[in-house]
């Protein structure tokens, strides 16, 4: 069967695709676009002290801003965080976060949902993907890497799992969410889309001394089957043949 990815590209592209292509990224079709599975010659099982992953296409995140937001989220059967800048887990890969008294985000890393649960509510505001990129930094040295570029305290004691920090990295406003996966310390960084290439390079430089590496979703989500991979060029249309 052949899959034409024109619609996938129309849904979402990462501004880092040029970098991924230059580093021999292998892609798989996802619900919202082409996702980097891994890079040529890289083994998903390879242990790393710190890894960096572009989740801008894979992740889904949306917001609601309203005085009735908490009641609406509860009616959806989702947990409602009580404290500002904290989150409540929906599943291992999904959580709801409270940013202010009337602003909530849902972030979903399952990679298989076409839309957030928030989308069906009358309070739905906008998909955060249109405004923010999403980068994942994971591994035993992730906190040390962030400490080099972030002025706020992101130590384990100061920033617990599912806590939110709004700060700046090299004068770029960035939301940082502690989001551990597979018992591994991790952070999601959400800079503005227009600044993602700049932040990506800063992270690459910061993790160099820790022998860090960029990885795809196959490394970060070892328990998720992503399917057949393909390498693409800088073209808006590519046909993937599934075996």
Strands annotated E in 31-163:
34-39, 51-54, 60-65, 86-91, 94-100, 103-108, 124-127, 135-138
Which helix or strand (DSSP H or E) is residue 213 part of? strand 213-214
Span 30-88, pLDDT tens digits:
777 888 989 988 876 778 899 999 999 888 877 888 888 898 889 888 999 999 999 99
Euclidean distance between CA atoms 243 and 232, whole angstroms? 17
| CATH class, range 60-128 | alpha beta
DSSP 162: T
Instruction: Average the pLDDT over 22-26 and give the result.
Output: 95
Interacting residues of 151 by C-beta distance below 8 A, sequence separation 6+? 167, 168
The residue with tokens 């676009």 is 33
- Quick: pLDDT tens for 142-182: 999 999 999 899 998 899 999 999 999 999 999 999 999 98
* Fold of domain 2-59+134-241: Gyrase A; domain 2 (3.30.1360)
- Measured CA to CA in angstroms, residue 158 lies from 90, 154, 163, 178 at distances of 23, 6, 9, 11
Tell me whether strands 135-138 and 164-169 are parallel, antiparallel or unpaired: unpaired
Q: Domain locations in the chain?
A: 2-59+134-241, 60-128
State pTM to two decimals. 0.85
């Amino acid at each position: 069967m052949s899959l034409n990815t024109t619609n996938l590209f129309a849904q979402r592209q990462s501004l880092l695709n040029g970098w991924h292509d230059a580093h021999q990224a292998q892609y798989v079709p996802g619900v919202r676009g082409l996702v980097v599975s891994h890079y040529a010659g890289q083994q998903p099982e390879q242990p790393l002290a710190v890894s960096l992953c572009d989740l801008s296409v894979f992740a889904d995140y949306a917001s609601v801003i309203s005085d009735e937001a908490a009641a609406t989220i509860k009616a959806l059967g989702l947990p409602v965080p009580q404290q500002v800048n904290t989150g409540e887990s929906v599943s291992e890969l999904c959580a709801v976060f409270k940013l202010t008294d009337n602003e909530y985000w849902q972030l979903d890393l399952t990679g298989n949902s076409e839309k957030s649960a928030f989308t069906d509510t009358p309070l739905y505001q906008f998909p955060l993907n249109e405004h923010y990129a999403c980068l994942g930094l994971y591994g035993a040295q992730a906190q040390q890497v962030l400490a080099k570029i972030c002025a706020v305290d992101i130590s384990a004691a100061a920033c617990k799992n599912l806590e939110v920090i709004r700060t700046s990295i090299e004068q770029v406003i960035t939301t940082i969410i502690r989001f551990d996966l597979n018992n591994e310390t991790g952070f999601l960084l959400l800079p503005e889309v227009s600044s993602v290439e700049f932040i990506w390079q800063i992270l690459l430089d910061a993790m160099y001394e820790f022998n860090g590496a960029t990885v795809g979703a196959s490394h970060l989500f070892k328990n998720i089957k992503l399917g057949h991979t393909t390498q693409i060029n800088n073209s808006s249309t590519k046909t993937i043949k599934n075996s």
